[in-house]
Amino acid sequence: MSVVTIIGAGMMGSALAFPARENGHEVRLVGTPLDREIIDHARKTNQHLKFDKKFPDGIKYYQVEEMEDAINGATFIIGGVSSFGVDWFKDEVLPKIPDNIPILSVTKGLICEDDGKLICYPEYWQKKLDELGKTNELCAIGGPCTSYELVFHDQTLVAFCGKNESTLQMMKQVMTTSYYHIIVTTDVIGIESAVALKNGYALGIALTIGENIAKTGNEDEIHYNSQAGVFLEASREMHKLIKMQGGNEDSYFVGVGDLYVTVYGGRTRKVGILLGKGYDIDESLNILAGVTLESLVVASRVAKALKIKAQKGEVSLADFPLLMHVDDIITNKAKVNLPWEDFTVIR
């Protein structure tokens, strides 16, 4: 039996407790400082505040001040924080994890460095580990998976990425179930770039849903031509970006799968629909108050990196018309006006 400690009791981190525990492993779920109510509720009811289904019996729950007890003896750690908890995880969690315990992160995102280079969170955290003189292996999960459908045991296919295939195979053995299926790859930058990029591009596709609702006045009338057209352009731009990042083709396809599921459910879809209806970014954020919107951060960071690279002559912004328009909406409060003719250009 392995011991899996999940740090971060958000929806995705908590959802991963299901396959781990249902495989007979010891599972310890640790809340961040923002998760106190979730952990209190789980201790009383054995259920997450946002899930309709109870946790499997036997999961152990810890508040943040009990984190070191939960880490002690763990086979591996699952980092379950959102992108807004990246620095907290770096500063408060990494120093407490013994060297022999590998880490598997669910956190999606990219960071733009001053020279326009986009690095993923495992790279960002590696700098902290190097500073501390620590040797923990950093791995990550990416791919088409929504937390509530994983809890429901919907058939799910994801990728685990990391530098050491034997460590990934160990994690795969612990986590694989009849409904949770895992691709193993050492293409960390490819997977992490693909699953981060899909957030910004899913927002772009969701704009068309809002536009059609505004045009027809009918929330239930769905039009697919426009969604598919922007999906096509999003896929083209993602492919170019993943190649720029040095990722491989398989990682790109993982990103396309993740793009599909993100368009059809979740927070990114909601903000895209509001923007497409005609609300500006501030109005949309007010309507969705309290909702974590990683898609906005990803889109603006990638656009910033491309602008830096364009100034150096390394890329052409004309190759990324959809992303540039999404960034204009987010950064400059531009109204939605998808550049359809730009999508017709073969690049």
Give me the active site residues, please.
198
Contact call for residues 185 and 250 (beta carbons, < 8 A): yes
CA angle 98, 101, 105 (to 5 degrees): 115
Three-class DSSP category at 149: helix
Burial class (CB in 10 A: 0-12, 13-18, 19+), 305: buried
DSSP 89: I
Give the span between the Cα atoms of 38 and 34, in whole angstroms: 9
**Which residue's structure tokens are 């999960």?**
141
Give the span between the Cα atoms of 5 and 200, in whole angstroms: 30
Across-strand partners of 79?
Answer: 7, 105
**Which residue's structure tokens are 């259920």?**
47
Three-class DSSP category at 154: coil
Within 10 A of 224 (CB to CB), how many other CB atoms are there?
11
Three-class DSSP category at 6: strand
Within 10 A of 214 (CB to CB), how many other CB atoms are there?
14
Pick from 265, 285, 259, 281: nearest CA to 327 = 281
CB contact set of 191 (below 8 Å; sequence gap of 6+)? 140, 142, 143, 159, 161, 185, 247, 251, 254, 255
CB contact set of 213 (below 8 Å; sequence gap of 6+)? 219, 221, 273, 276, 277
